[in-house]
Structure 1
Amino acid sequence: MKKSAELKQERALKIKAQQDLTALATTETRALNTEEATAFRAVQIEIDDLTGQIEIAETAERNQRSLEGSQPTGFVPEGQQRQAEKPVFSLHRAIRSQMVNGDMKLEGPELEMHQRASKRGLALGIAVSGFAIETRATSQTVTGNSGADGGNLVATDLQSPIDFLRPEPLMKKLGAVYQSGLTGNLRYPKNAGGIVASWEGETDEVDSTANAYGYVDSIPKRLAVTVPISLQNLMQSSIDLEAYTAKEINAAIENAIDAAAVNGSGTGQPFGVLNVSGTNSVATGTDGSAPTWANIVDMETGIFVQNASAAKMSYIVNPQTRGKLKKTKHEAGDLGYIMDKSGEINGYPSVTSNHVPANLTKGTGTALSAAAFGDWTQLLINQWGYMDFSVDEFSRKKEGFVEITVNVFLDVLVKQPKAFSVIKGLITA
């Protein structure tokens, strides 16, 4: 009898074949024709049969493990130790399973992860090109799931690599809301208001009023990253090297999410807070102007006027603006600076990031900065389906590298632009 891992591999191939059968109909947004439907049902019969075989095989394997565990201690040869630990997901094992000349195949925790993620891909109508792993709200961390998403870099014989200097992750710190495990496009009905109560005389007729409703959509957008991994790194598969691989991939993805959330252009990527329409705009001079205390008050006032204030609101500035605010007093003769020693601006916390541009132009002004203030819980980070890993072992084989390309499907949505104030054209030099 075949092992459950082999049967699961066969079932995964059948599921992939079934996805291929539906791909054209999904692209053309139509139902399956008679031939496609017949083929689909035939493959489903095979999948159901394999599922039954897997259940039998897993039951037999569990019984075997139980029998082995019940043997007396003396039955185990001296010097041997039983391995009772449950296998955990290994990113490097999954990568090696995709290499043409490798001696490994997708099985165990890696296969189970792939199958779960593939089901989500099928619901989205997206075929998996390599192997897939699930995304969750915690998938950007590197310590969860017993190391499946990465782990702490613990030095063994190899010293920890020196990290690339990236902007500090922002959105989680600011309070943006993450939603994961999504399948279809999202539509958010939006109430623009309209119901009004009015004072009337005892027998006067009151005018009818009604809310005006619109909507905003959130649709998955592909975010891709290619990571070169040395063959030596991949084949050694030490815990710290594997953790570093996962950490670098996650850091690149989280960095791209933050950049889009702050300054996304809306072209091939989501609109960020600085560019989405409907925010409260605070003006600067014709050619830009230095930040003032009045600018800060105007940014806060705009949000309160729109009834969009919240208990937790924060500023986001770039390093240039941060430095300028810490050197600029409220007004002439005032001992206080716009940004105090704790980093607060008029009692509100601030974060600093190079994702906020410092290369804007206005009139004849150049190298100008932007800043934003608002309720960051009004910003959604939506995650669909899975992370799709494709392995290319040939393009850089002479250098001893394997390239891992990761595709994830995400969107950034500003639910209420009025909850944010934006200023552009700040002179910070």
Structure 2
Amino acid sequence: MPSPLINTLRERRRRVYDDAKSLADLAAAENRAFTDDEQTRWAALNDELDTLDQRLTDLREQDQRAGQSEAAFANLLGGAVQTRSAADTDLDARFRAAILENDRRPIVVANPCERSGYRPGVERRDLATTSGGGLLPTSFFDRIQRHMVESSAILAAGATMLNSRTGEPIKIPRSTAHSAAAIVTEGGTITEDDPTLGSVTLGAYKYGFLVQITHELATDATFDLLAYLGEQAGIAIGNAFGAHAITGTGTGQPRGVLTDATAGKTGDDTTGGTFTADELIDLYYSLAEPYARSAAAGWLMNTSTLGAIRKLKASGTGDYLFANDVPAGTGAAGTLLGRPVYLDPTMPDVGVGAKCIAFGDWSRYWVRQVEGLRFERSDDFAFDRDVVTFRALARLDGALVDTTGAVKVFEGGSA
């Protein structure tokens, strides 16, 4: 089954192809060549089709390799690969049984970095006890990761996930300026112009929380305990990391995208931080073309900002800028100027000097995860209250690895 990202890219390609076909059909119907604007648009659409085709080819190859690895692993174990089924009640019953056995060994979620190409919400892993025996199949880890993605707009928008087995700092080299060439006269001196290189360091900050359930709750056959614990773990960790991924300082916490994103448009000084339709269009086109046509390009804002944007209309046509059509599999709220809009409550409200809207290529924000998500239990921590304590732990860091202009922001002008 194709991954959600492949389906999203296919849908995007279909829309781009339809736009290009409509452009060609119009010129053919009127028996004329393209105008200058149409030629520019035609070239941009074909460039995007080429980019999408290459991305789809890469993802199909990754999925094929992943499937071959799973099949080979299954043969080694002498059994079939477990996939997620509708039998959630059976999974939940086995989970309850494991609790009631009073086995105090920790439950550990397997390391997702054991296979390359890991993407949130796509890969599946088994839960296992420390003795190596299978406890639960796929679903629980999927639920934790899925809810983490839902709780962090940057993860949902397509941030690049980097997994490692150990947590020592990783330096990621990056270019901050390219070499520039110039015409050299005959016999003239060729000017030296070296590229500027830098680096960003990703560490591993530990996020964690505890959740407790009563013995009675564990035996309540009508309560979906598995889904509840997965949801709580994902939301708690996702909200904490997601906030830092946007506004984190990089000191004692991940480095947020707003810390390094550059201003693409600053509002009028007389508007008190608000924006106009034309200013959003300016912000869109402030992004360099390679970033703007990336499959991971999109908008980031909070709900109140989107409420203001929904009222804006393009000058001349009177059409609303925001559209309710949601690209399949993205989890976006809709589209703005053809790109998906992601909502996150951590984004600042509209105001003087506020970076309330971000637009860019979210694959340039890298998230590092060390080991797998750990989910462990203790029957002793709250023994006097007859409750079982679970803790969820994740080691994460993040930073915008391309600060040359991969993400641009709208910054409200002064009053």
Whether the TM-score (by the shorter chain) exceeds 0.5 is: yes
Rg larger in structure: 1
Query: 1:280/1:92 Cα in 2 relative to 1: closer, same or farther (>3 Å)?
Result: farther
Counterpart for residue 147 of structure 1? 137
Query: 1:285/1:377 Cα in 2 relative to 1: closer, same or farther (>3 Å)?
Result: same
Residue number among 263, 267, 286 corresponding to 1:284 in the alignment: 267
Counterpart for residue 161 of structure 1? none
Matches within 5 A, 1:5-404: 103-106=102-105, 132-136=108-112, 137=118, 145=126, 147-150=137-140, 169-183=152-166, 184-234=168-218, 240-274=224-258, 276-286=259-269, 288-304=272-288, 308-312=291-295, 313-331=297-315, 334-342=317-325, 343-358=334-349, 362=352, 370-389=356-375, 391=377, 393=379, 400-404=386-390
Cα distance in 2 for partners of 1:151, 1:216 equals 30
Q: Deviations over 1:113-150 (max 9, x none)?
A: xxxxxxxxxxxxxxxxx664334246767975463451
Which runs of 5 or more residues in structure 2 are unaligned?
Answer: 1-76, 78-90, 113-117, 127-135, 326-333
Q: How many residues align?
A: 295
Residue number among 397, 400, 411 corresponding to 1:411 in the alignment: 397
Which runs of 5 or more residues in structure 1 are unaligned?
Answer: 1-61, 63-86, 97-101, 107-129, 154-163
Q: Secondary structure at the match of 2:323?
A: coil
Q: Secondary structure at the match of 2:322?
A: coil
Query: 1:297/1:309 Cα in 2 relative to 1: closer, same or farther (>3 Å)?
Result: same
**What is the CA distance between 1:352 and its match in structure 2?**
2.5
| TM-score normalised by length of structure 2 | 0.59
Query: 1:209/1:347 Cα in 2 relative to 1: closer, same or farther (>3 Å)?
Result: same
Give the letter for the 2:359 counterpart. F
Cα distance in 2 for partners of 1:105, 1:180 equals 28
Query: 1:371/1:194 Cα in 2 relative to 1: closer, same or farther (>3 Å)?
Result: closer
Give the letter for the 1:405 counterpart. R
Query: 1:174/1:139 Cα in 2 relative to 1: closer, same or farther (>3 Å)?
Result: closer
User: Percent identity between the aligned chains?
Assistant: 20
CA contact (8 A) 2:159 2:364 kept: yes
**What is the CA distance between 1:403 and its match in structure 2?**
3.0
CA contact (8 A) 2:204 2:397 kept: yes
CA contact (8 A) 2:274 2:351 kept: no
Tell me the C-alpha RMSD between the 2 structures: 3.9
Query: 1:147/1:424 Cα in 2 relative to 1: closer, same or farther (>3 Å)?
Result: farther
Q: Secondary structure at the match of 1:321?
A: helix
Q: Secondary structure at the match of 1:320?
A: helix
Q: Deviations over 1:221-266 (max 9, x none)?
A: 1111222222223456999423432332123223333333233343
Query: 1:236/1:138 Cα in 2 relative to 1: closer, same or farther (>3 Å)?
Result: farther
**What is the CA distance between 1:210 and its match in structure 2?**
1.8
Cα distance in 1 for partners of 2:204, 2:141 equals 28
Q: Deviations over 1:345-400 (max 9, x none)?
A: 12222123323233x7538xxxx771111101111121002434454556655655
Give the letter for the 1:279 counterpart. T
CA contact (8 A) 2:266 2:413 kept: no
CA contact (8 A) 1:176 1:377 kept: yes
**What is the CA distance between 1:197 and its match in structure 2?**
2.0
**What is the CA distance between 1:419 and its match in structure 2?**
0.6
Cα distance in 2 for partners of 1:405, 1:223 equals 10
Give the letter for the 1:175 counterpart. G
